[in-house]
Structure 1
Amino acid sequence: MHAEPVYNGSPYPPPAPPAPTSVPAGAAQPHMVGQAAVPQVRIDYRAAQEIKRIVLEQLLKEKKNNPSLTGEAEEQRGRALINEQVAIWSDATGRGGAYSPVEEGELAGLVFDMCFRAGRLQRYLDDDLVEDIWIEGPHRVFLKYSDDAEPVQVGPVADSEEELEELVRDLIRASGQSGRTFSTFSPEVELRLKDGSRVQALGPQVTGEFTHVTIRRHRIQHADLATMVRLGALDEQMADFLRACVRARRNIMFAGEQSSGKTSLLRATLREIPASERFGTLETTFELWAHKNGYHQHVVPMEARASNGERVDGRAAGEITLLDLMKSAKRMSLTRVVVGEVRGPEITAMMQAMTSDRPGNMCTIHASEPEAIFDRIAELYLLAQSNFTPDLAYRQIANGLHFVVFLSVDDSGPVKRRFVSHIWEIKSVGPDGRPTYNEIYRPASEWDQRAVPYAQLSQRNLQKLERAGLRTDFLAQPGAWTHEVHA
């Protein structure tokens, strides 16, 4: 069980409070951290909203006279203004001196987060165990922890629908993606927070009553394949196989249902690309972070951009799609192209890159089960252009794609499990016009879906992988899942 965390986002280090000897009747009960009780601190959220308004108005005035007041300088000035306004508020309430430094520090910390970070959400974003945040209107907030199968309901992050919509706009401002809007005329927004979290918000114009917000955390941002083995997403043998695939420049597609760990495994596999190699990442929202992993030296990161809501000549003004980025990538002298997720017309450019450009490209795709992958690609082909056919998609799969790595999710127990369940080697088009494949790895059994070796590679791919350092007899060895599956 997870208790709702005490708010601890203050940018000012308050003095340590004395340890409480008792809890008065009717007071909030303390949370337990280890063996020590941490007292709850009540916060006046209406006061926080008013102080936020005053501080932002003052900052706006000062920035007009001093355009260089940005970044850290703006935050430092904001801290000073917040301190000042909290002191004024404390005196004005008629309880001057009655608020403790801890209470004033907590209020100041909340206002700082409302001005520069994620407001009342920040406490949950600071918790490394929180995996997903679901906001279903102002009064229903749920946390999905990495070590719990069931979501936990916590206190509200807004007191009204209007305040919740303002929180979404605060998230846009704090993310630095000022070109995105959230309003009656633009009731849907997707954005990336500075910590890498992915936000999807839908306004009441879409949902019917309240704003809904989903925040997907990326807890495993800089993992390599060894880390993924320790987390139980795959075993050492499969990690060696993926390393050889990257070195041998094989085209790989990572597939699976939502939240199955596709992006995490792709992100880890990218660490096998040589540090000096120049490659590009194309994403709707940055999640791979190859350009910030401290390892690769020549990554060209490309992020799609949403429209500003207007249309010019039938096209959404300001929009940059993944398909646009795929065309740009061809002019960037890249050795590989990596697409965070193909989910639209860009599938055609991705498959063309796999068939006509230098191999070694990678991407992820949503699919409910391995057998649905080929039809999922064909479906995206049909959506891309009306004169495209499934036969064209099937031929390009067979000609360009070398391996499919499928990840599965098991949430039947108390802890959600994510792991590789299948690895397919793609072969030629079969008599029925669909691609054929070798099932290199398949689930161990009906009860254990973790992948184990099953069939030999084709001679063509085996020779390439052996030259890349893979042991000739690697598939003759049994699978070796030595870690509990909890990635």
Structure 2
Amino acid sequence: MRTVGPEDMPSAARPGIGAGLLEAVRGRLAEAGAEPTPARVAMALRAEGRLLGDAEVLGVVSALRSEMIGSGPLEPLITAPDVTDVLVTAPDEVWVDRGAGLERTPVRFADEAAVRRLAQRLASVAGRRLDDARPWVDARLPDGTRLHAVLPPVAVAGTCLSLRVLRPRAFTLAELVAAGTVPPDGDRLLRAVLDARLSFLISGGTGSGKTTLLSSLLSLVGPSERLVLAEDSAELRPHHPHVVRLETRPANQEGAGRVTLRDLVRQALRMRPDRLVVGEVRGAEVTDLLAALNTGHEGGSGTVHANAPCDVPARLEALGSTAGLDRAALHSQLAAALSVVLHLVRDRSGRRRLAQVDVLERGRDGFVVTVPAAVWAPDGFQEAPGWARLTKLCERGRGAK
């Protein structure tokens, strides 16, 4: 796999072309409203009293264009096939995640102002505002990349830029097995859950691969079924012939026009979904999702942030309280709506993997708890106390088809 080296850096970051000179040329071109062509850059350099060779002039042109096109100096990282996250914490601190933990790259920005300019330009491309009045942004770029940026003084040490790279296609389940994300004996179990039309949530921490696994599973749904996806940011990309994708929208500068995830879930129910999918359950929409799954919409799914499967009921309980749903009512709906929790983890090496499958059951106090059914420990697969119930649910679901 090709790694990023010094030759991939923007020319302004290489020795011999100072940030001050680059800024002066940029200013002259901005005043003239001119594109950074070699001829115009050479004229600006002469006006600054600097005579550079052809290679240096082309280097300045390349550096200026990198700020105007694509993701600038980050472009080689974003287009690398194995990179999932690109993180900038300082002009000389650019990190990537290739699926095995964070690693520092040799990519450099000329200065803090260059990082800020790139963040603001990307925000503009996404149709968002990023300035001193609104010093952060969370948006999706046209190619699907998730953008998050924070400006000083909120970001104390300087502009912070985070890019979550969305691949143009979903991984297949076979590819996830080959990568070690799904254990070799786990794909058959996941297919059984899908075939039985069991409603499930994928839980895990940030960056554990929840969206990746969900996209892969949705790609296995039969082509005659209609998928309706409701997402805060459109990241799910199942390979399926019949998909309707809905995405939230923030309020405009006048505070109007906001579309929430709860709005989308309600609209999705009117669109004849065979499978209703919520990209990430994170607020009051949990009540509408549970109500839908209790009224004939089987096979629904989504993701939720949780450190362990046993935390999922409490997490949903907390989210339901934001919509005014009391604890007893939520657990009553939860018991009838959801069947399975698939839990992903990132081990110490940074590798993402399916660690556990739990079933949901009512406890003696009437509240829902998760019971481990299948566990993949370091020493291999283990059947857990909920295995018999999971097997029965899958068989009952297949028999009802």
How much has 1:449 moved relative to structure 2?
Answer: 7.7
Q: 1:451 to 1:460 in 2, by over 3 A?
A: closer
User: In the superposition, relative to structure 1, how do residues 209 and 400 fare at CA in structure 2: closer, same or farther (>3 Å)?
Assistant: same
* 1:130–1:143 contact (8 Å) kept in structure 2: no
**TM-score when scaled to structure 1?**
0.72
Range that drifts further, 241-250 or 280-289: 241-250
CA apart distance, 1:146: 1.9
1:405 and 2:357 matched: no
The answer for the alignment partner of 2:158 in structure 1 is: 210
- What is the one-letter code of the residue matched to 2:87? W
How far, CA to CA, are the matches of 2:40 and 2:241 in structure 1?
45
Q: Which deviates more from structure 2 when the two are superposed, residues 262-271 or residues 351-360?
A: 351-360
Q: Post-superposition shift, 1:435?
A: 1.5
Question: How is 1:466-477 mapped onto 2 (pairs within 5 angstroms)?
Answer: 466-467=398-399
Distance 1:49 1:288, change over 3 A: farther
Larger deviation: 360-369 or 121-130?
A: 121-130
Letter in 2 for 1:442: V
Q: Identify if the C-alpha distance between structure 1 residues 209 and 439 changes in structure 2 by more than 3 Å, giving closer, same or farther.
A: closer
In 2: Cα distance, 1:146 partner to 1:396 partner: 39
Q: CA deviation at 1:6?
A: 2.3
Equivalent runs, 1:134-283 vs 2, <5 Å = 134-136=87-89, 138-146=90-98, 148-152=100-104, 154-157=106-109, 159-160=111-112, 162-174=113-125, 177-178=126-127, 180-208=128-156, 210-218=158-166, 221-283=169-231
Q: What are the within-5 Å matches in structure 2 for residues 3-402 of structure 1?
A: 4-7=5-8, 43=17, 45=19, 82-89=37-44, 98-100=53-55, 103-136=56-89, 138-146=90-98, 148-152=100-104, 154-157=106-109, 159-160=111-112, 162-174=113-125, 177-178=126-127, 180-208=128-156, 210-218=158-166, 221-290=169-238, 295-311=239-255, 317-385=256-324, 388-402=325-339
d(CA) in 2 for partners of 1:55, 1:286: 37
- 1:274-295: per-residue Cα shift (whole Å, max 9, x none)? 23432211111121123xxxx4
Shift of 1:377: 0.7
Identity in percent? 26
Contact 2:6 2:106 in 1 (8 A): no
| 1:425–1:438 CA contact under 8 A, matched in 2 | yes
Answer yes or no: is the 8 Å Cα contact 1:267–1:288 preserved in 2.
Answer: yes
Q: 1:457 to 1:54 in 2, by over 3 A?
A: farther
Counterparts of 1:46 and 1:125, CA distance in 2: 27
* Residues 438 and 457, structure 1, Cα contact 8 Å, conserved in 2: no
Contact 1:279 1:335 in 2 (8 A): yes
Scaled by the length of structure 2, what TM-score is found? 0.86
Residue 84 of structure 1: how far off its partner (Å): 4.6
Give the SS at the match of 2:229: strand
Give the Cα separation in 2 of the matches to 1:459 and 1:227.
25
Q: Distance in 2 between matches of 1:408 and 1:393?
A: 27
Cα deviation, 1:450-484, whole Å, max 9, x if unaligned, reads 65433223565132455599xxxxxxxxxxxxxxx
2: distance between equivalents of 1:462 and 1:148?
34
**RMSD (Å) for aligned C-alpha atoms:** 3.3
- Conserved 8 A contact 1:196-1:217: yes
Say if 1:5 and 1:347 are closer, same or farther in 2 by CA, change over 3 A: farther
Deviations along 1:16-38, whole A, 9 cap, x unmatched?
xxxxxxxxxxxx9xxxxxxxxxx
Q: 1:237 aligns to what SS in structure 2? A: coil
What is the CA distance between 1:406 and its match in structure 2? 0.4
C-alpha spacing 1:53/1:191, structure 2 compared with 1 (3 Å): farther
Q: Please point out which of 353, 356, 360 is paired with 1:426.
A: 360
Work out whether 1:462 is the aligned partner of 2:399: no
Aligned to 1:66: none
Paired amino acid for 2:383: P
CA–CA distance in structure 1, aligned partners of residues 355 and 330 of structure 2: 24
Kindly tell me: are residues 466 and 356 of structure 1, through their superposed partners in 2, closer, same or farther at Cα, counting changes over 3 Å?
closer
Could you tell me which residue of structure 2 aligns to residue 69 of structure 1?
none
Determine the structure 2 residue equivalent to 1:475: none
2:103 partner amino acid = P
Bigger drift between 116-125 and 460-469 goes to: 460-469
Query: Which amino acid in the other structure matches residue 183 of structure 1?
Result: D
The change in CA–CA distance for 1:443 and 1:222 in structure 2 (over 3 A counts) is closer
The CA deviation string for residues 377-420 of structure 1, in whole angstroms up to 9 with x for no partner, is 101111232xx222222222211001110011111xxx312111
Could you tell me how far 1:56 is from its partner in structure 2?
Answer: 7.6
**Structure 1 residue 196 displacement after superposition:** 2.9
2: CA distance, partners of 1:204 / 1:111? 23
Deviation at 1:203?
2.6
Offset at 1:358? 1.7
How many residue pairs end up in the alignment? 397
